[in-house]
A and B are shown apart, each in its own frame.
Chain A
Amino acid sequence: MGTGRFEPSSIKNKIKREEVARKFKKNKGQSKLQRRLALAKEEATNPAAKKKRQLQNVPRTLDNTREFDPSMLTADPSASTSASTSTAATNDPSSSNSQPQDPSQLPQDESLTDISSDPFAEYFSGAADPSVPPKVLVTTSQKATRVTYEFCEELVGIFPGAELIRRKKGKGSEMGKIAGWAADRGYGHLLVVNEDMKKPNAITVVYLPSGPTAYFKLTSIELSKQISGHARPTPHFPELVLNGFVTRLGHTVGRLFQTFFPPMPEFQGRQVVTLHNQRDFLFFRRHRYAFRSTEKVALQEIGPRFTLKLRSLRKGLPAVKNFGEVAKDLEFDAFENAGEKDQLHASEVNAEDDHADEQIADEEGSERPVKLKKTLPPKEDEYQWVWKPELETTRRTFFL
């Protein structure tokens, strides 16, 4: 039997050909359907068979086949890197013991030392009072609109200890300057919601004493009132669920998020705040839960839901390039026989300049009577990580 299967395309008559092709396709679909129905029937009574089939047919997903990132942190020290290097060590007995061990333990040691010395260490060491929620300052970009303010009100509801302050327009209200001001007054975080085209589109998170600033793209915002059947939030401290943070960068972001909330949640409130990382998208959700049995939890969604995507991470506070600098005076070309009128005008203009400058100086002076230590923002931004499209070489590359 050398002939393959019969191809309808070999029929020259169009009508007949179409008929035959349609029939073939229908039969194919029918047979597949019958097969699946039979399988479903069988498995309805035999969950073991279903499990077996599922174990056999594990689908390939982007998350399954993710590109390996050397900064991935694993729970146990016997990670793949250490395993490989340890085998190398055993193969080569002549090499010194210390060398092979160090690289194998390096990722783990490094991560531990990093975690102990990263800017969030204070929070985790338990220095702060656990019953006092960390202060958060929420503000917007300049000239924000109602939509953004609504979203900011929701944010204030999410974080216990959050306050909304409206942003001024003009020279004195740069983000770095506000960050310094807030740090001096004991705030733990600064949250700036950026607006574009009458919609919030980004959030800048500054960890205050001198900490990193993260810039997230903000999408898919749904306020509580838009969620049908939403629960009502209470002022209890929520529990946190942080899923899917694998790499060093991911851990940094996760810990940053953790520091927003008081370390000891009030379980009586039964509220859980989730930040779930899937393929570099951070999904924020807030639920109220109730255990219905040992296997079932009922979840009712409170509060806003939104998606964040990390765009950049900077080391210190946001930089202010010309912090507190005063405009230079206007110069006029010095002619030997400069006209009187010209000189008059020049002097008038100069006087105006000086007056303006003095006014600015006065304002800054009057702000200083309260003697707080001045936290100054840096002059230049020091980027630790920036998202660029060329970083995503494959579809399976993720950074968090």
Chain B
Amino acid sequence: MQSDDVIWSVINQQFCSYKVKTVTQNFCRNEYNVTGFCNRQSCPLANSRYATVREQEGTLYLFVKTIEPLEQIDKELTHWPNFTIHKCKQRVTKITQYLIKMRRMRLRQEPKLIGVKKKLDRREAVRERKALSAAKLERSIQAELIERLKSKAYGDAPLNVNEEVWQAVLDQERKGKDKLMDGGELEMEDDETEEELEEELEEEWDEDEEGWGDREFVSDVSESEGEDDGSSDLEGIASGEGSEEGEEGEESEEDKESTKKTALGKRKAAPRSQKPPRKGPEKKAKRGPRVEVEYEQEMESVPLTKEMLANW
């Protein structure tokens, strides 16, 4: 048999494939090494009597290298150098501890680590930016709030609106209703003669608007331009003022054109002295002409431009 010392001198001075050299320490990569260092005492190759403790698949085994291979473990441990016994015991402790921790950790739920995908993140960041600009957030929120206000989702006396604004909303709604009723009435007017129409119109205007007797009246319209124009003007103005009723959507174009018509200006300019002011019973049925008058007045006195509204 070989002598331990000879082996050690070869290993230490010449070459050992298990040796790992660092600045301060030499390590031994041999799996049966009891301490992990490359020492005379710890080298498994250079000690004919050697023991170590290793774990395989969760169970600990005592490996004993002996001259007689089938030695009993306890005999080894009683008669062995303290160094070996000590180091073996240390290994036992360490291995059992880490095995316990492994078992406990398996029951814990560690946070799942997901890799950061740079390309994906970059792509999504760009898409988010574009989606944000496509979303037009403020505009959509404003539109939604206005719609809720107009659809009376806030009830009849809402707490979140200015009194004047709420009145304006109610007015618009009423005008919208009038316009609706106009639509119904104009059909009825077909049956009437023009004279009757004129009379009714006069009545409406006179009794409705105080002090508006001097202004020009829709009778011009009914006489000169016919009912269609009158209605279109009406509707045009109504939608031009921005109410969002669905029926008026289609007429919006006409409206704008009609409001721009110089005819309006003409109408405004030409005073009507022919029709003397006359009081008459209010006729809810004939709201059309009355409404026209209103519009004209508004165009003159309070044009509902955006500046006016802002300064309300």
Determine whether B18 belongs to the interface, using a CB cutoff of 8 Å to chain A. no
Contact between chains at A219 and B128 (CB < 8 Å) = yes
**B162-178 residues at the A interface, CB under 8 angstroms:** 162, 165, 168-169, 172
Contact between chains at A219 and B125 (CB < 8 Å) = yes
Determine whether B159 belongs to the interface, using a CB cutoff of 8 Å to chain A. yes
Determine whether B141 belongs to the interface, using a CB cutoff of 8 Å to chain A. yes
Determine whether B137 belongs to the interface, using a CB cutoff of 8 Å to chain A. yes
A294-B242, A333-B61 known; A283-B137 Cβ under 8 A: yes
Determine whether B253 belongs to the interface, using a CB cutoff of 8 Å to chain A. yes
Residues of B contacting A241 in the complex (Cβ-Cβ under 8 angstroms): 141, 144-145
New A-B contacts (17) at CB < 8 Å, excluding given A244-B135, A267-B159, A270-B160: A217-B124, A219-B125, A243-B144, A274-B137, A276-B135, A293-B309, A293-B310, A294-B165, A297-B142, A299-B141, A299-B142, A322-B109, A327-B107, A339-B62, A341-B77, A342-B74, A342-B92
Contact between chains at B128 and A332 (CB < 8 Å) = no
Main secondary structure, interface of B, reads helix
Contact between chains at A48 and B256 (CB < 8 Å) = yes
A241-B144, A272-B145, A331-B59 known; A279-B256 Cβ under 8 A: no
Alpha-carbon gap, A244 to B77, bound state (A): 77
Residues of A contacting B161 in the complex (Cβ-Cβ under 8 angstroms): 291
Alpha-carbon gap, A217 to B124, bound state (A): 11
Instruction: Give how many A residues have a beta carbon under 8 Å from the other chain's beta carbons.
Output: 64
Smallest CB gap from B256: residue in A: A48
B246 CB to nearest A CB, Å: 15
Determine whether A47 belongs to the interface, using a CB cutoff of 8 Å to chain B. yes
Determine whether B140 belongs to the interface, using a CB cutoff of 8 Å to chain A. yes
Contact between chains at A268 and B160 (CB < 8 Å) = yes
Chain B, residues 92-103, CB within 8 Å of chain A (1/0): the string is: 110010011001
A171-B108, A283-B132, A291-B162 known; A342-B100 Cβ under 8 A: no
Most buried by A among B104, B111, B242, B253: B104
Provide 13 A-B residue pairs closer than 8 Å at the C-beta atoms, listed in order of the A residue: A48-B256, A174-B109, A270-B160, A272-B141, A274-B137, A278-B131, A290-B162, A294-B168, A295-B146, A299-B142, A322-B109, A331-B58, A332-B59
Contact between chains at A47 and B256 (CB < 8 Å) = yes
Contact between chains at B74 and A337 (CB < 8 Å) = yes
Contact between chains at A307 and B128 (CB < 8 Å) = yes
Alpha-carbon gap, A299 to B111, bound state (A): 41
A219-B125, A294-B150 known; A61-B109 Cβ under 8 A: no
A73 CB to nearest B CB, Å: 19
Residues of A contacting B158 in the complex (Cβ-Cβ under 8 angstroms): 267
Determine whether B68 belongs to the interface, using a CB cutoff of 8 Å to chain A. no
Residues of B contacting A47 in the complex (Cβ-Cβ under 8 angstroms): 256
Alpha-carbon gap, A220 to B145, bound state (A): 25
- The 8 Å CB contact of A268, one of B77, B99, B159, is B159
Alpha-carbon gap, A111 to B130, bound state (A): 31
Contact between chains at B309 and A243 (CB < 8 Å) = no
Residues of A contacting B108 in the complex (Cβ-Cβ under 8 angstroms): 171, 322
Contact between chains at B141 and A287 (CB < 8 Å) = yes
Residues of B contacting A141 in the complex (Cβ-Cβ under 8 angstroms): 111
Residues of B contacting A283 in the complex (Cβ-Cβ under 8 angstroms): 131-132, 135, 137
Residues of B contacting A341 in the complex (Cβ-Cβ under 8 angstroms): 74, 77, 85, 89
Contact between chains at B73 and A52 (CB < 8 Å) = no
Alpha-carbon gap, A332 to B53, bound state (A): 12
- The 8 Å CB contact of B100, one of A243, A274, A345, A353, is A353
Determine whether B312 belongs to the interface, using a CB cutoff of 8 Å to chain A. yes
Residues of A contacting B137 in the complex (Cβ-Cβ under 8 angstroms): 274, 276, 283, 285
**A113-148 residues at the B interface, CB under 8 angstroms:** 141-142
A231 CB to nearest B CB, Å: 14
Residues of A contacting B58 in the complex (Cβ-Cβ under 8 angstroms): 331
